[in-house]
Structure 1
Amino acid sequence: MNTVIKSDYISASHLAQLNQNIANINQHVGVSFEFFPPASIEMENTLWDSIERLKTLKPKFVSVTYGANSGTRDKTHEIIKDIKSKTSMVAAPHLTCIDATKDELRNIARDYWQNDIHSIVALRGDIPKGELKPHMYSTDLVILLKQEGDFDISVAAYPEKHPEARSAQFDLEVLKAKFDAGANCAITQFFFDAETYLRFRDKCIKQGIEEDIVPGILPVSNYKTLVKFAGMTNVHVPDWMHKLYQGTDNDPITRNLIGANQAIEMVKVLSQEGVKDFHFYTLNRSDLSYAICHSLGLRPNSN
């Protein structure tokens, strides 16, 4: 009995602290959400459940990732068109220039434009094994897209440097080139220290980048998966996160509370530093992203 009371008290105290932190956010927060193409019927049902739930928060747009094979690409096209036809949301497909010719990319761009899909996340993509150098880069893709239509183009930014970049300065120069080519905004790789983003934003300003740098937020529900992702993407996982998640392998409720708290704290700090828009990597699940956005003052529409 005492154990239950103690657990309830901790949860109530935790929620009260979150509410107090949220009260310090004084400006409207804009959000967008990222999904990936499902690999099974069950995962597809989960995806659409998440889309239906998150659309009530009126995101600026939702994006769908793009794989390096034709099957995944076709699925991305299909989901994007379904989102466009079944919801009122702006749908932004990811588009990479790996494993596609310029003519193929132009045909894809024209198809999107003709179907009233005018927002695209333009990426280089992962280089296939055995190849040393891609035939196109993201800057080239931005130029190609702008030649086909006045797309609203988002590109990638890396607060901790792209894993393949020879230096942080070179990475900034690449980002500047994307904007000079016509990109409208950048979405960052996920990170776990607000200072990482703020330092990066300052460097972008010094580089002459005036466009929005939208922070990418990954609410952590599976710590082992996070560590795997971080290792692949050159993202530093702070020691305090390792300590927070110790002993939670079989405790998803605690993991979710930790993930929500960490994300809200970071959004709070960034909001106070003038950041107005946030991009959530949902991993096709709505619960954590929805809870965080709800806590930040975003409410379902009344219709």
Structure 2
Amino acid sequence: MNQPDVSFELFPPKRPDGVEALLGVAKDLAALDPAFISVTYGAGGSSRERTLGVTAAIAKEAPVAGHITCVGASCADVDAVLKEYWAAGVRRIVALRGDSLDGIGARYKPHAQGYAYANDLIAGAKKIADFDVSVGCYPETHPDARGLQDELDNLKRKIDAGADRAISQFFFEPEVFLRYRDAAADAGIDKPIVPGIMLQPNFKGLQKMARLCGAFVPLKVSSAYDGLDDDAKARDRVTVDLSTQICTRLANEGVDAFHFYTMNKSALATEVCRNLGISKDRRAA
């Protein structure tokens, strides 16, 4: 199996004193020679300053992508963030519609003076600078989508607006992703679709996240974590094993890139990458 490309997602620390620890995580991940490390952006830009600062700092260690959303901000405010990214040397963004300010599951309402949807945001970003743009997609369909065709139509709009690739929401069954990839190709979507792999060893947290985004949790997954609430090391092992199995199956079907939702922990991502034949400091090899 050839070494795949990898990328990683981090989220900005809630407290200023967490920045140093996060930069340490980013440095560990940078040794794996990722295509990029992305930094999430809170609803309505609630973590704007921390996101910008952390993103600019990580850019010194590895290629970095800053998240940007439509939620709760005018076009002028969003454009200002995009210009700050570019000025800081950030050439990649992850452009998302974002979730309602009333919480995930609440009805989304575009800002009156803002970019209404992700495709509008992408078009606006491309007018500001030649960003490399990643977008989201949902193999089990977005909670707001009326079905698979609606999901694919929306992805096509984002690709047509200038997106360079799509990164999927997490899932637990490789066939779910493979069917989606094939359906996207049939729909004329010719940009890469990168599977998103969740590295969340807290099963209760994982279940909650899955409910919110509509990801099905198979019995084999829940059974693997059963009885491990008080055994963090065992949960870590299960997370690594399950993630490795998903990635290996996908790699055997021609998937050559993976995006890891790291939960700001580098150890699990590093171990999964090692299982895939990716070692630290491979840049020097």
Measured against the shorter chain, the TM-score band is over 0.9
Residue aligning to 1:58: 33
The structure 2 residue matched to 1:269, chosen from 225, 233, 249, is 249
Does 2:184 align with 1:184? no
After TM superposition, list the pairs within 5 Å mapping 1:93-112 onto structure 2: 93-112=66-85
Matches within 5 A, 1:221-300: 221-300=201-280
Q: TM-score, length-normalised on structure 1?
A: 0.87
CA distance in structure 1 between the aligned counterparts of 2:221 and 2:107, rounded to whole angstroms: 36
Find the counterpart in structure 1 of residue 91 from structure 2: 118
Q: Secondary structure at the match of 2:31?
A: helix
**Alignment length, in residue pairs?**
276
- Separation in 1, partners of 2:69, 2:160: 19
Deviation at 1:223, TM superposition (A): 0.7
Q: Which deviations, in whole Å up to 9, do the C-alpha atoms of 1:99-145 show, x marking residues without a partner?
A: 11111222222222232211000001112238752141000000001
- CA distance in 1 between counterparts of 2:30 and 2:179 reads 32
Q: Kindly report which structure 2 residues correspond to 1:136-215, keeping only aligned pairs within 5 A, or say none.
A: 136-215=116-195
TM-score (norm 2): 0.93
Which whole-Å CA distance do the structure 1 matches of 2:149 and 2:240 have between them? 33
- Asked which structure has the greater CA Rg, the reply is 1
What are the ranges of 5 or more consecutive residues in structure 1 without an aligned counterpart?
1-25
CA RMSD of aligned residues (A): 1.6
Partners of 2:252 and 2:107 lie apart in 1 by 44
Give the deviation of 1:54 after TM superposition.
1.2
Write 1 or 2 for the structure with the bigger share of helix. 1
Gaps of 5+ in 2: none
Deviations 1:8-59 (A, max 9, x none): xxxxxxxxxxxxxxxxxx1121100000011135643432221121111111
Find the counterpart in structure 2 of residue 134 from structure 1: 110
For 1:48 and 1:155, locate their aligned partners in 2 and report how far apart those are by CA, in whole Å: 24
Match of 1:19 in 2: none
User: Alignment partner of 1:189: what SS?
Assistant: strand
